[in-house]
Amino acid sequence: MNMENTTFFDFDMPVERRGTSSLKWEKYKDKDVLPLWVADMDFRSAPAVIDALQQQVAYGVFGYTIPHDALMEVVVSMLNRQYDWPVQAEWLIWLPGLVTGINLACRAVGDEGDDVMTAVPVYPPFLTAPGNSGRNLIKVPLKKRQNRWKFDFDLLESMITSKTRLFILCNPHNPVGRVYSRNELETLSIICKKHGIVICSDEIHNGLILDEDKIHIPTATLDADTAAHTLTLMAPSKTFNLPGLGCSFAVISDKNLRGRFKRAMAGIVPMVNLFGLRAAEVAFRDCSDWHAALLDYLRGNRRSVEKAVSQMPYLSMAPVEATYLAWLDARDTGLRDPAAFFEDAGVGLQDGNEFAGPGFLRLNFACRRALLLEALDRMATALNHQAI
Ligand SMILES: Cc1ncc(COP(=O)(O)O)c(C=O)c1O
């Protein structure tokens, strides 16, 4: 049943998350701190997803579940339709989490003692995954040019060692909000190919492109050469707010790389649970209206954040092209611990140090607007007070 056509999606509706074992909200339980940290949204899921999961619960059987044909077809046709990417069902590998995929990529490529490169600041598990499998991490700093975070490809190439086997790419990039252009991806791919480096392309934020003049380009779609040395990680979890259901997938066209990835999984990676699989199918197939309304709402929140930050003393940010995360530059505040300062002011942001971005803060604006405005107001008041 398509529930979308006549439904108005009310993202302003308060949803009580306190007392629901929410990671985001439990951190500040019993405190007057508005949590704008971990990357989930405060919104209820799309009605079609809720409906499908309710039917699953009513059925009452929760046995081992395989990714059924309908789900495979939905994903294959979604990738074809959105990205002109002719994926074969056998290239898909289902995973109970995308971070699992990042760690598997580190294990599947190269050997212990090899180097894994990534561009910082970046989502924290990129920084810990290499060490989890005895690899060394090489962090290449992104550079801010014309108020956009960019790769410095000369620097990147100069930091490649003879032991560098894997580059973990985040596109769209959490936390700097970039949607990398074809040109940027091609340059990265050429460098990686030249040095025999596999790209692990984390594209979990692919459905959250906010700039209307930009599109997401899966790295593996650049050309056949790039596809052969790329493994892609995707999920419905960020776009459709399903992270608690633990469902994501890898797309690996190269048979050899796929084989190594599967061998790294053997015996330690469980099947995806049936709710995650069912939700993925419905989200990708039946929720385009909800998704469009969500993007619209997030664009409004982005405007609120950009406006408020531009009026705050000492705080600045680059435009957020994608994701619902703003990367705030607090270096001019002179604060020793900006995250603690804002926490004391009643706003829970994420400390840039966790992303290898000291002096920065990450703000998650995927919440109802009234709460966001209250948080921004608290931040402005605290900063203005501090500035006097
Ligand atoms: C870039 C990126 N990758 C992976 C994840 C998490 O994936 P999962 O919860 O499926 O492990 C996140 C969550 O914020 C993310 O931003």
pLDDT in tens, 327-380: 999 999 999 999 999 999 999 999 999 999 999 999 999 999 999 999 999 999
Angle (nearest 5°) at CA 23 between 20 and 25: 65
The SS3 call for residue 270 is: coil
| pLDDT level of residue 8 (50, 70, 90 thresholds) | confident
**Choice from 41, 94, 95, 99 to test ligand 1 binding pocket (greatest atom count within 8 A of CB):** 99
What is the 103 CA–ligand 1 centroid distance (Å)? Answer: 12
Q: Which long-range contacts (CB under 8 A, 24 or more apart) does 301-304 make?
A: 301/365, 301/366, 301/367, 301/369, 301/372, 302/210, 302/326, 302/365, 304/365, 304/369, 304/372, 304/373, 304/376
174 lines ligand 1 (CB under 6 A): yes
Mean pLDDT of 236-260: 98
Distance of alpha carbon 314 from alpha carbon 333, whole angstroms: 5
pLDDT at 5: 45
Instruction: Give the type of residue at 202.
Output: D
What is the 95 CA–ligand 1 centroid distance (Å)? Answer: 12
DSSP one-letter code for 209: B
Work out the end-to-end distance of the chain between its first and last CA atoms, rounded to an integer number of angstroms: 58
Residue keyed to tokens 């460098």: 191
121 lines ligand 1 (CB under 6 A): no
pLDDT at 155: 98
Helix (H) or strand (E) holding 139, with range, is: strand 136-141
Ligand 1 atom at shortest distance from the alpha carbon of 243 = 9
Distance of alpha carbon 36 from alpha carbon 301, whole angstroms: 13
Distance of alpha carbon 259 from alpha carbon 264, whole angstroms: 9
Are the C-beta atoms of 335 and 367 separated by less than 8 Å? no
**Tens of pLDDT along 158-205?**
999 999 999 999 999 999 999 999 999 999 999 999 999 999 999 999
99 lines ligand 1 (CB under 6 A): yes
Distance of alpha carbon 299 from alpha carbon 276, whole angstroms: 27
Dihedral, CA of residue 179, residue 181, residue 187 and residue 190, to nearest 10: 90
Q: What is the bridge-based pairing of β-strands 360-364 and 350-351?
A: antiparallel
241 lines ligand 1 (CB under 6 A): no
The SS3 call for residue 314 is: coil
What is the 168 CA–ligand 1 centroid distance (Å)? Answer: 13
pLDDT at 35: 98
98 lines ligand 1 (CB under 6 A): yes
What is the 173 CA–ligand 1 centroid distance (Å)? Answer: 11
Residue 240's Cβ-side half-sphere holds a number of Cα atoms within 13 Å equal to 28
Residues above pLDDT 90, as percent of the chain: 97
**Tens of pLDDT along 26-64?**
999 999 999 999 999 999 999 999 999 999 999 999 999
Residues above pLDDT 70, as percent of the chain: 98
Ligand 1 atom at shortest distance from the alpha carbon of 100 = 11
Q: Select the more confidently predicted residue: 388 or 68.
A: 68
164 lines ligand 1 (CB under 6 A): no
pLDDT at 6: 46
Mean pLDDT of 270-299: 97
**Choice from 23, 40, 98, 354 to test ligand 1 binding pocket (greatest atom count within 8 A of CB):** 98
Q: Which two tokens stand for residue 177?
A: 């909000």
Q: What is the bridge-based pairing of β-strands 230-234 and 248-251?
A: antiparallel
What is the 382 CA–ligand 1 centroid distance (Å)? Answer: 31
What is the 6 CA–ligand 1 centroid distance (Å)? Answer: 32
pLDDT at 2: 43
242: exposed, middle or buried (C-beta count within 10 Å: 0-12, 13-18, 19+)?
buried
pLDDT at 7: 60
pTM comes to 0.96
272 lines ligand 1 (CB under 6 A): no
Ligand 1 atom at shortest distance from the alpha carbon of 235 = 10
Ligand 1 atom at shortest distance from the alpha carbon of 237 = 10
**Tens of pLDDT along 201-244?**
999 999 999 999 999 999 999 999 999 999 999 999 999 999 99
Are the C-beta atoms of 238 and 269 separated by less than 8 Å? no
Q: Which two tokens stand for residue 225?
A: 């050469």
What is the 96 CA–ligand 1 centroid distance (Å)? Answer: 11
Q: Which two tokens stand for residue 306?
A: 């950009």
Tell whether the model's pLDDT for residue 3 goes beyond 80: no
In this structure, the number of other CB atoms found within 10 A of the CB of residue 50 comes to: 14
97 lines ligand 1 (CB under 6 A): yes
Q: Which two tokens stand for residue 26?
A: 């439990």
Distance of alpha carbon 321 from alpha carbon 184, whole angstroms: 15
pLDDT at 387: 63
308: exposed, middle or buried (C-beta count within 10 Å: 0-12, 13-18, 19+)?
middle
- Hey, whose CA ends up nearest to atom 14 of ligand 1? 39
| pLDDT level of residue 245 (50, 70, 90 thresholds) | very high
| pLDDT level of residue 4 (50, 70, 90 thresholds) | very low
Mean pLDDT of 74-81: 98
Nearest Cα residue to 385 out of 327, 289, 287, 314: 314
What is the 84 CA–ligand 1 centroid distance (Å)? Answer: 24
